[in-house]
Homo-oligomer: A and B are copies of this chain.
């Protein structure tokens, strides 16, 4: 392990900085006053980290507020449900609504029982089957149920493990379908309602949500740059998203990613001097409510995208480092694998083709090689979008290894005589890019 990497590992800056974000700013829903405080904090912190230039860029986002909310089973047994309204859901009005519950385990069951859905609250009590297959009930459930005449939906929290913990997240309404309120309930409460229904004891639920979609507001991406010493016009972008859900304190999702990105950039300075290329740290906004900051960045920076040599996003939490996935040509993947040898001793040497990240996705589609920072994912969804995503879940040693891994990779990419994007077959076939590989 290099001397620089050993110094990275001993540096408590990232842990302290993430603690400050989580504990003194707390959760930071895009568009909320807390997010505005987080943006101010981020600018100060980027300055303190040694960025040469720090600026913000406005992003127009939907303005959604939660307000008060509750749900209660009113028959055949009375009990309060532990719930969280889903992001971007409409509310119920102040009187709330009450209806019988139709509990289904998947969309097929809903379709088969269409006649029973009208006028009811549909409960999606789907089993955890990995994030992708499971989350569709959260994102699409309301409109799927509304098509059958349902008046609201409850969605079992998208998690494999629960200790009576509700998990929120974004939902979307389909055009032309009635907009009905949607809330997450705990695995525990979903199971109880399902079992009551299965026993023929028809449950009724009263749901009250003050949630409101209030049109648009403006939030900000926060950007800090460390100018390259040799090729300042070439940009290596390193990113996380600053916004979080409005519960917990957004520790793993994605305070950690922001701090890993910034701490890694800072380590380039403190661990041996200015990098050859420019390192641009981006804290995106509004990832949670539609990846809006990432799209806005692409649109605002379209002209300079050819100068983006690579983009790396950390948005998988700060668990033990596992490696990197690469969205790009096979020769780019191979090049990243070469760079990652420098951090293999940290557990981060595994590189495979794959997804980069929600925020850098839009620029990767435009040809910027994308790198996703990967970590042990076994506990991530236990905390994700829930009140349990808090700083106590961050292991300082694992966080430090992630900072060192990203710093080591970025250091190597910045020092490579060949720009990463020029490793790609299409770039090579086209006879170059801004700096062809000297093969």
Distance in Å from the Cβ of A89 to the closest Cβ of chain B?
Answer: 20
User: Are A392 and B187 within 8 A (Cβ)?
Assistant: yes
Q: Which residues of B contact A77 (CB under 8 A)?
A: 23-26
Q: Which residues of B contact A201 (CB under 8 A)?
A: 24
Distance in Å from the Cβ of A403 to the closest Cβ of chain B?
Answer: 20
Chain A 367-397 near chain B by CB (<8 Å), digits 1 or 0: 0000000000000001100111011100000
* A345 CB–B CB distance under 8 Å: no
Distance in Å from the Cβ of A394 to the closest Cβ of chain B?
Answer: 11
Residues A195 and B386 in contact in the complex (CB < 8 Å), given A161-B163, A164-B165, A165-B164: no
Oligomeric state, in copies: 2
User: Are A164 and B390 within 8 A (Cβ)?
Assistant: yes
* A79 CB–B CB distance under 8 Å: yes
A388 in complex: contacting residue of B25, B76, B188, B248, CB < 8 Å: B188
Closest B residue to A247 by CB, please name it.
Answer: B164
* A19 CB–B CB distance under 8 Å: yes
Q: Which residues of B contact A24 (CB under 8 A)?
A: 76-77, 196, 199, 201
User: Are B391 and A192 within 8 A (Cβ)?
Assistant: yes
A386 in complex: contacting residue of B23, B26, B163, B199, CB < 8 Å: B163
Closest B residue to A82 by CB, please name it.
Answer: B387
User: Are B164 and A249 within 8 A (Cβ)?
Assistant: no
Q: In the complex, A76→B19 CA distance in Å?
A: 15
User: Are A164 and B248 within 8 A (Cβ)?
Assistant: yes
Closest B residue to A251 by CB, please name it.
Answer: B188
Residues A164 and B23 in contact in the complex (CB < 8 Å), given A192-B249, A249-B192: no
Q: In the complex, A22→B248 CA distance in Å?
A: 29
Q: Which residues of B contact A388 (CB under 8 A)?
A: 162-165, 188
* A191 CB–B CB distance under 8 Å: yes
User: Are A386 and B164 within 8 A (Cβ)?
Assistant: yes
Q: Which of A1-57 contact B (CB under 8 A)?
A: 19, 22-26
Q: Which residues of B contact A186 (CB under 8 A)?
A: 387
Task: Give chain A's interface residues, CB within 8 Å of chain B.
Answer: 19, 22-26, 76-77, 79, 82, 161-165, 186-188, 191-192, 195-196, 199, 201, 248-249, 382-383, 386-388, 390-392
* 10 A–B pairs (Cβ distance < 8 Å), ordered by A: A19-B195, A26-B79, A163-B163, A163-B388, A164-B248, A164-B386, A188-B248, A188-B387, A188-B392, A191-B390
Q: Considering the complex of A and B, which 7 residue pairs feature the smallest CB-CB distances, nearest first?
A: A164-B387, A163-B388, A163-B165, A163-B163, A164-B388, A191-B392, A188-B390
